[in-house]
């Protein structure tokens, strides 16, 4: 059965190409949400196996989205991979990423092979 | 009282030197008044009956003689605006002299009559004034240089603060490019409908990264002031690109309403971007506690009315009624301006921000830059709601007279 991935990122071009790559590389069903304020409602209806979440977004940042996932019973256990183009290590350790409690953070530009491995590991645990 | 005595008396009390030489008798002096004695330090008793060669250096005498001959030849008054003779203790004495050819009625003698005014003090004052003026010009030039250096220093600081955000904005298109490369590197299927989309996305990512990097390079370059006619919205577009990361991170929504058909304003793009970036970052900081941070950037053109010069508030101080201007306003819904801070906003090094967040040079430099553009910058609380408003009034014509620097200087 295809694993379901939710991409939450305000960069429409990025999500479009990542979706194409993921769908070409494995048996994935990918849904895109470019508006972070709708991430939780989209996730509730899509029920993803894993979420790839951007950090710096207008509306709600990745940390806020992650916190909403945590407080939602049906999403609490969905693994989240944070993708970030942040370059400042202090921002990574002090900012939304650290607050989110997400254990998996991958830098942008994304190494696709690494991302696929991380998705495999994270979804295998479930 | 004899007429002659009267004439002599008048001559000796004149504040100017008067002398006469007899052209028919080798230009020997026949008249030498008291002031002439005073200026030359030669007594009349010694001068009368002698010529210039007996009284002055050969070089001076040659000169006097040549002028005397020229006066006779011309047959009319000749003005010598400035001549120098050697006075007491070898000091130069500057004279303004007129020489008149006279033919004495009874004797038919041809005389050269000279009237000299001592202008040594005037010349000295003029030289002092010129020297002071040169010092002033030099100091002003130095001040302008220092101002430009200060502006550049503040700009470098802004670049430092923007760098992480700009890098973030460049990394996004890079991430997209890498995804495109990943997709295409596994072999290109000509029937794959995704390929066209991917190539188009990659091209637009390159354009975007290029625009951001170019924006930053343009912003950081240029030390001297160089203005060109621009549409205000293009400046705001560029600025929003550079501060996009700061706005997104702070969750600030931006509403821009700048008509596309505003009159051109004459701006040094890089320096003016510095002003707007400063004001935007200030607004973002001021809105850090706001529930829904919102920055409104609006502009309009207007013909100024009822401008009163030297008013208490000194509004529009460089403008006159009837001047056509473009007004740019940045309106935030932040904490506003504390009454105690209002008068110190533009003081260098004044800051309400925590150490490391700002040096306190931003607004003072911003106002200086706006003034160099012949405009004005005012910052205050908004009247309709909580928050601050920054108002920039910009001339739509270049008037170098109002500006400290020329409109086009070497790049």
The DSSP secondary structure of B146-198, one letter per residue, reads HHHHHHHHHHHHHHHHHHHHHHHHHHHHHHHHHHHHHHHHT---TT-THHHHH
Q: Do the chains contact at B168 and A87, CB–CB below 8 Å?
A: yes
Domain-located, residue B189? yes
**A1 has a pLDDT exceeding 50:** yes
Q: In terms of domains, do B104 and B157 share one?
A: no
Q: Say if B245 is an interface residue toward chain A (CB within 8 Å).
A: yes
Q: Which among B175, B194, B198 is the nearest to A110, CB-wise?
A: B175
Q: Domain limits at B394? A: 136-402
Mean pLDDT score across all residues of chain B: 86
For residue B186, the tally of other CB atoms under 10 A from its CB is 10
Residue B350, token pair as written in the block: 């004044």
CATH of the domain at A55: 3.40.50.2300
Domain-located, residue A113? yes
Domain-located, residue B131? no
Write down which residue in B49, B83, B118 finishes a domain: B118
Domains contained in chain A, number: 1
Domain-located, residue A126? no
Domains contained in chain B, number: 2
CA distance B310 to chain A (A): 45
Q: Do the chains contact at A17 and B180, CB–CB below 8 Å?
A: yes
| Main-chain dihedrals φ then ψ at residue A35, nearest 5 degrees | -105, 110
Q: What percent of chain B shows pLDDT beyond 70?
A: 89
3-state secondary structure chain A: CCEEEEEECCCHHHHHHHHHHHHHHCCEEEEEECCHHHHHHHHHHHCCCEEEEECCCCCCCHHHHHHHHHCCCCCCCCCEEEEECCCCHHHHHHCHHHHHCCCEEEECCCCHHHHHHHHHHHHHHC
Question: Which residues 71-90 of B are in CB contact (within 8 Å) with A?
Answer: none
CATH of the domain at B302: 3.30.565.10
- What span, in angstroms and rounded, lies between the C-alpha atoms of B389 and B382? 5
pLDDT tens for B36-68 read 999 988 999 999 999 999 998 898 899 999 999
Q: In terms of domains, do B81 and B162 share one?
A: no
Looking up tokens 């700048």 gives B258
Q: Do the chains contact at A14 and B179, CB–CB below 8 Å?
A: yes
What residue in A sits closest to B197 (Cα-Cα)?
Answer: A17
Q: Which among A20, A56, A58 is the nearest to B198, CB-wise?
A: A20
pLDDT tens for B132-169 read 999 999 999 998 888 888 888 888 888 887 887 888 88
- What span, in angstroms and rounded, lies between the C-alpha atoms of B325 and B348? 27
For residue A108, the tally of other CB atoms under 10 A from its CB is 23
- What span, in angstroms and rounded, lies between the C-alpha atoms of B397 and B63? 55
pLDDT tens for B245-291 read 889 888 899 999 999 999 999 998 888 999 999 999 999 999 999 99
Residue B194: its chain A contacts at CB < 8 A? 20, 24
Cβ-Cβ contacts under 8 Å between A and B: the total is 74
Q: What 3-state DSSP class applies to B42?
A: coil
For B196-261, the DSSP string reads: HHHHHHHHHHHHHHHHHHHHHHHHH---S-B-EEE-HHHHHHHHHHHTHHHHHHTT-EEEEE--TT
Q: In terms of domains, do B238 and B352 share one?
A: yes
Contacts of B55 (CB under 8 A, 6+ apart): B29, B40, B42, B46, B47, B61
**A32 has a pLDDT exceeding 80:** yes
Contacts of B145 (CB under 8 A, 6+ apart): none
Q: In terms of domains, do B273 and B354 share one?
A: yes
Residue B197, token pair as written in the block: 């989309």
* Among the ranges given (B138-152, B281-295, B311-325, B385-399), the one the predictor scored with the smallest mean pLDDT: B311-325
Q: In terms of domains, do B88 and B150 share one?
A: no
- What span, in angstroms and rounded, lies between the C-alpha atoms of B29 and B71? 16
SS3 content of chain B, % helix, strand, coil (to 5): 45, 20, 30
B88 or B147: whose pLDDT is higher?
B147
Q: In terms of domains, do B303 and B385 share one?
A: yes
Residue B407 is predicted with a pLDDT of: 38
CA distance B253 to chain A (A): 8
Q: Domain limits at A29? A: 3-120
Write down which residue in B92, B118, B144 finishes a domain: B118
Residue B397 is predicted with a pLDDT of: 78
User: Quick one: CA torsion of B65, B67, B68, B70, rounded to 10 degrees?
Assistant: 120
Q: Which among B164, B186, B249 is the nearest to A87, CB-wise?
A: B164
Write down which residue in B67, B84, B118 finishes a domain: B118
Domain-located, residue A43? yes
ipTM above 0.85, yes or no: no
Q: In terms of domains, do B262 and B140 share one?
A: yes
pLDDT tens for B202-250 read 999 999 898 888 888 878 876 677 888 999 999 999 999 899 988 988 8
């Amino acid at each position: 059965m295809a694993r379901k991935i939710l991409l939450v990122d305000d960069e429409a071009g990025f999500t479009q190409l990542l979706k194409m790559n993921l769908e070409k590389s494995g048996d994935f069903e990918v849904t895109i949400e470019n508006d972070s304020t709708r991430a939780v409602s989209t996730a509730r209806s899509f029920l993803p196996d894993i979420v790839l979440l951007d950090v710096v977004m207008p509306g709600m940042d990745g940390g806020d989205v992650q916190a909403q996932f945590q407080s939602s019973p049906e999403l609490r256990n969905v693994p989240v991979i944070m993708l970030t183009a942040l370059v400042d290590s202090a921002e990574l350790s002090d900012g939304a990423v650290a607050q989110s409690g997400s254990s998996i953070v991958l830098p942008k530009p994304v190494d696709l092979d690494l991302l696929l491995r991380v998705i495999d590991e994270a979804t295998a645990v479930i | 009282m004899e007429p002659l005595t009267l004439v002599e008396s008048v001559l000796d009390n004149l504040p100017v030197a008067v002398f006469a030489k007899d052209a028919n008798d080798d230009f020997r002096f026949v008249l030498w008044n008291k002031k002439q004695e005073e200026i030359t330090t030669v007594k009349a008793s010694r001068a009368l009956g002698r010529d210039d060669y007996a009284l002055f250096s050969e070089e001076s005498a040659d000169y006097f003689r040549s002028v005397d001959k020229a006066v006779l030849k011309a047959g009319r008054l000749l003005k010598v605006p400035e001549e120098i003779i050697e006075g007491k203790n070898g000091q130069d004495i500057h004279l303004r002299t007129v020489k008149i050819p006279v033919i004495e009625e009874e004797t038919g003698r041809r005389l050269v009559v000279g009237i000299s005014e001592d202008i040594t003090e005037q010349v000295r004052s003029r030289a002092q004034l010129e020297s002071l003026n040169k010092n002033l010009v030099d100091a002003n030039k130095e001040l302008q240089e220092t101002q430009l250096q200060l502006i550049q220093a503040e700009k470098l600081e802004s670049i430092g603060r923007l760098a992480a955000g700009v890098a973030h904005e460049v990394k996004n298109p890079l991430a997209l490019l890498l995804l495109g490369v990943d997709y295409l590197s596994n072999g290109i299927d000509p029937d794959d409908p995704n390929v066209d989309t991917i190539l188009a996305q990659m091209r637009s990512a390159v354009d975007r990264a290029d625009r951001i990097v170019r924006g930053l390079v343009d912003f950081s370059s240029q030390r001297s002031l160089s203005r060109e006619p621009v549409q205000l919205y293009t400046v705001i577009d560029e600025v929003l690109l550079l501060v996009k990361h700061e706005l997104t991170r702070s969750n600030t929504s931006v509403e821009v309403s700048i008509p596309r058909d505003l009159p051109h304003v004459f701006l040094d793009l890089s320096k003016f971007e510095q002003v707007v970036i400063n004001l935007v970052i200030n607004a973002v900081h001021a809105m850090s506690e706001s529930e829904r941070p919102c920055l409104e950037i609006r502009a309009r053109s207007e013909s100024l009315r009822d401008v009163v010069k030297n008013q208490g508030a000194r509004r529009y101080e460089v403008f006159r009624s009837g001047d056509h201007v473009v007004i740019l306003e940045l309106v935030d819904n932040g904490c506003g301006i504390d009454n105690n801070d209002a008068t110190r906003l533009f003081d260098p090094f004044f800051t309400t921000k925590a150490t490391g967040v700002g040096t306190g040079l931003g607004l003072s430099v911003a106002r200086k830059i706006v003034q160099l553009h012949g405009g004005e910058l005012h910052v205050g609380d908004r009247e309709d709601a909580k928050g601050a408003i920054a108002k920039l009034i910009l001339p739509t014509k270049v008037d170098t007279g109002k500006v400290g620097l020329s409109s086009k200087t070497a790049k």
